[in-house]
């Protein structure tokens, strides 16, 4: 159920409706919009008695949400969600494209700083790097853990980049939440419901990657898990799914972009690195993603991919990332977007 408040409803009226919902033993989720606030209701087993709610001051109407994912749906919130970062003009969602670049894994301070400097010079506002790596083999490099989180915090201070890094379990989730700006939940954890709920209780944006074989409904239901706990800042990310195709690591399903945008207000990014597994395919698919309406790109960049401890073959060189930024900057206006360059880019070069 959704309580739609009148455009002129006072904050006290919104508060009173939320309290009323709590008294019914249910959970209110205020979703402010440019025109009006709507309050999602969760926790009900059947229909909520709308009669009482409709009579409250400031309420315009009470409507039923037809989708199983309530808070993630456009029915609950018509306007696109835009995620902002305190102390920065970087955003995810809305008109500006978000570019997130960096190595698959943080391997050393030198490696991470060298790559960060190069991607910052190209104007990216977000830096990615794995501290905790979900690897197929238990013998493969598992990440530097807390040391990597410290390195990324130093990168944020030095280059003014916002940090995106993955939490793989509840232990790493608490650490990542303390150190990072965006908590990544990887494809393999997309249906780790207890992890999603824990992330929902934190106050940091969550970048949720699509599971290896997840349908659109399953993907949105996972976003709903996070939102149902009170964290509404969820960023979806298409990173390719398993198909019979063997010329790429995964099949990058760009057709999910308009489908998500039709059903949900949440931003959707595209990861052409894991989506293809091949360096030469990364730039073409990034172009296609922006042309198809993606809200941004998350891409693996390495200064020595041949020596990378993970995902070298799909990591692009910093020079290729610079080309990507220039090309996407030109494609963006054709689809009504722009590609902002980080304010620190020139300062970094100097």
For the CB of residue 60, give the shortest distance to ligand PEP in the complex, in Å.
41
CB closer to Mn ion out of 240 and 267? 240
* Span 76-105, contacts to ligand PEP by CB under 6 A: 104
Determine which residue in the list 130, 267, 272, 296 makes contact with ligand PEP, applying CB under 6 A. Answer: 130
Structure tokens at 294: 């993606």
Instruction: Choose the contact partner of 180 out of Mn ion, ligand PEP, none; CB within 5 to 8 A by kind.
Output: none
CB closer to Mn ion out of 75 and 300? 300
* Span 257-296, contacts to ligand PEP by CB under 6 A: 271, 274
> Rounded distance, CA 147 to CA 249, Å?
30
Contacts within 8 Å (CB) and 24+ apart, 328-337 = 328/97, 328/99, 328/286, 328/287, 328/290, 328/297, 331/287, 331/290, 331/291, 332/97, 332/290, 334/291, 335/290, 335/291, 335/293, 336/95, 337/95, 337/96, 337/97, 337/290
CB closer to ligand PEP out of 214 and 290? 214
CB closer to ligand PEP out of 30 and 134? 134
How many residues touch Mn ion under the rule CB under 5 A: the total is 2
CB closer to ligand PEP out of 270 and 328? 270
Which residues have a Cβ under 8 Å from the Cβ of 71 and sit 6 or more positions away?
A: 29, 31, 40, 42, 77, 224, 227, 228, 232
* Span 168-187, contacts to ligand PEP by CB under 6 A: 186-187
- Which residue in 106, 119, 204 sits closest to 152, CA to CA? 106
CB closer to Mn ion out of 73 and 273? 273
x-or-dash pattern for ligand PEP, window 6-25, by CB under 6 A? Answer: --------------------
How many residues touch ligand PEP under the rule CB under 6 A: the total is 10
For the CB of residue 188, give the shortest distance to Mn ion in the complex, in Å.
12
Structure tokens at 142: 């598992």
State residue 207 phi and psi, 5-degree precision. -100, 110
**Burial track 183-205 (b if 16+ CB lie within 10 A, e otherwise):** bbbbbebbebeebbebbbebebb
Structure tokens at 303: 């200064």
Determine which residue in the list 198, 239, 265, 302 makes contact with ligand PEP, applying CB under 6 A. Answer: 239
**Order of strands across the sheet that contains 27-32:** 27-32, 37-42, 2-5, 59-63
For the CB of residue 216, give the shortest distance to ligand PEP in the complex, in Å.
16
> Rounded distance, CA 152 to CA 161, Å?
9
* Span 266-325, contacts to Mn ion by CB under 5 A: 311
CB closer to ligand PEP out of 186 and 342? 186
Helix residue ranges, H only, 180-243: 193-200, 216-228
Residue nearest ligand PEP, Cβ-based: 186
Instruction: Choose the contact partner of 302 out of Mn ion, ligand PEP, none; CB within 5 to 8 A by kind.
Output: none
CB closer to ligand PEP out of 134 and 312? 134
Are residues 298 and 269 in contact, defined by beta-carbon separation less than 8 angstroms?
Answer: yes
* Span 66-105, contacts to Mn ion by CB under 5 A: 104
Positions in the binding site for ligand PEP (CB under 6 A): 104, 130, 134, 186-188, 209, 239, 271, 274
Positions in the binding site for Mn ion (CB under 5 A): 104, 311
């Amino acid at each position: 159920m959704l309580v739609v408040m009148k455009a002129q409803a006072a904050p006290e009226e919104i508060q009173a409706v939320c309290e009323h919902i709590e008294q019914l033993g249910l959970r209110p989720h205020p979703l402010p919009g440019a025109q009006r606030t709507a309050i999602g209701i969760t926790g009900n087993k059947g229909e909520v008695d709308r009669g009482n709610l409709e009579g409250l001051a400031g309420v315009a109407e009470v409507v039923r949400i037809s989708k199983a994912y309530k808070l993630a749906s456009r029915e609950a919130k018509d306007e696109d969600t835009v995620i902002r970062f305190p102390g920065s003009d970087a955003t995810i969602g809305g008109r500006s494209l978000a570019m997130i670049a960096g190595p698959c894994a943080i391997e050393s301070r030198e490696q991470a700083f060298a790559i960060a400097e190069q991607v910052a010079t190209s104007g990216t506002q977000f830096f990615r790097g794995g501290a905790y790596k979900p690897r197929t083999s238990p013998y493969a490099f598992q990440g530097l853990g807390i040391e990597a989180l410290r390195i990324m915090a130093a990168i944020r201070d030095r280059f003014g980049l916002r940090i995106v890094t993955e939490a793989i379990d509840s232990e790493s989730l608490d650490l990542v939440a303390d150190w990072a700006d965006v908590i990544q939940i990887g494809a393999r954890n997309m249906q780790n419901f207890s992890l999603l709920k824990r992330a929902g209780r934190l106050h940091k944006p969550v970048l949720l990657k699509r599971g290896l074989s997840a349908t659109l409904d399953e993907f949105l239901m996972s976003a709903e898990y996070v939102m149902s706990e009170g964290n509404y800042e969820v960023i979806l990310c298409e990173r390719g799914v398993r198909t019979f195709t063997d010329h790429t690591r995964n099949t990058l399903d760009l057709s999910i972009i308009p489908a998500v945008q039709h059903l949900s207000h949440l931003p959707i990014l595209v990861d052409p690195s894991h989506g293809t597994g091949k360096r030469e395919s990364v730039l073409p698919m990034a172009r296609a993603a922006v042309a198809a309406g993606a809200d941004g790109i998350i891409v693996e960049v390495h200064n020595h991919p041949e020596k990378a401890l993970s995902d070298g073959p799909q990591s692009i060189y910093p020079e290729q990332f610079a080309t990507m930024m220039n090309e996407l900057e030109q494609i963006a206006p054709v689809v009504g977007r722009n590609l902002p360059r980080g304010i620190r880019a020139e300062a970094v070069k100097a």
